[in-house]
Amino acid sequence: MGISFTQSTITVDSDLTLEAGSLAEANILLELKDSTGAPYGASHPTVEFFATKGTITHIQDSGGVDSATVISWQNGEYMGFYMADSGVGQSIITAKVNGTLIEDNAIITLVPGTPDYKASDIEADPSTIQYQFNENSTITLTVVDSSGYPITDGGHAVSFTADPAGRFTNVIDNEDGTYTAYFSAQFEGDYKISAKVDTVDVNEIITISVKEEAASMENPVNGFRLPPGSGGAGGLPISLMGLSKLPYANWPNTRAARSLLREPLNRNGFNMAALMQQGIIGPLMPFAGNITGLIPGKKSMPISASSPSIGGGSSSLTGIEGK
Partner 1 sequence: MSKPFSAYNPGKNYIFSPGHGPDTDKAEKGVTYSFLANSLGNRGGMIHLNELEQYQAKKNLSPQGRIVRGFRDWPSFEGYDLIATEGVYKKETTEKLTPGGLKWKATKGRVVVYEVHGPGGVDHQKTLEFAEYIKDYHLFEELILSYDTIDPNMKSVNSQVIVVMPEIKTIPHSNWAKNVRSEFNFMPLGNGLVEIPSTSPAEVFKQAANLSITKETTEEG
Q: Which of residues 265-294 bind partner 1 (CB under 8 A)?
A: 265, 267, 279-294
Distance CA 118, CA 115 (A): 9
Distance CA 159, CA 196 (A): 5
Regarding 306 and contact with partner 1 (CB under 8 A), the answer is no
Q: Is 1 helix (H, G, I), strand (E, B) or coil?
A: coil
Q: Is 317 helix (H, G, I), strand (E, B) or coil?
A: helix
Q: State which of residues 86, 194, 254, 271 lies at the interface with partner 1 (CB under 8 A).
A: 254
Q: State which of residues 27, 90, 127, 259 lies at the interface with partner 1 (CB under 8 A).
A: 259
Regarding 191 and contact with partner 1 (CB under 8 A), the answer is no
Q: State which of residues 299, 305, 306, 315 lies at the interface with partner 1 (CB under 8 A).
A: 299
- CA-only gyration radius of the chain, Å: 35
Closer residue to partner 1 in complex, CB, 50/168: 168
Provide the CA 43 distance to its chain's centre, in angstroms: 53
Give me the residues paired with residue 208 across strands: 191
Which one of the spans 47-55, 94-102, 104-112, 295-303 is the region binding partner 1 (CB under 8 A)? 295-303
Q: Give the x/- contact pattern for partner 1 in 120-159, rule: CB under 8 A.
A: ----------x-xxxxx-----------------------
Which one of the spans 2-10, 73-81, 84-92, 260-268 is the region binding partner 1 (CB under 8 A)? 260-268
Question: What minimum distance in Å lies between the beta carbon of 4 and partner 1?
Answer: 53
Give me the residues paired with residue 33 across strands: 4, 39
306: exposed, middle or buried (Cβ count in 10 Å: 0-12, 13-18, 19+): exposed
Please give the backbone phi and psi of residue 252, each rounded to the nearest 5 degrees, phi first: -60, -30
Q: Is 33 helix (H, G, I), strand (E, B) or coil?
A: strand
Question: What minimum distance in Å lies between the beta carbon of 52 and partner 1?
Answer: 35
Question: What minimum distance in Å lies between the beta carbon of 274 and partner 1?
Answer: 14
Q: How many residues bind partner 1 (CB under 8 A)?
A: 80
Regarding 174 and contact with partner 1 (CB under 8 A), the answer is no
Distance CA 43, CA 198 (A): 60
Regarding 317 and contact with partner 1 (CB under 8 A), the answer is yes
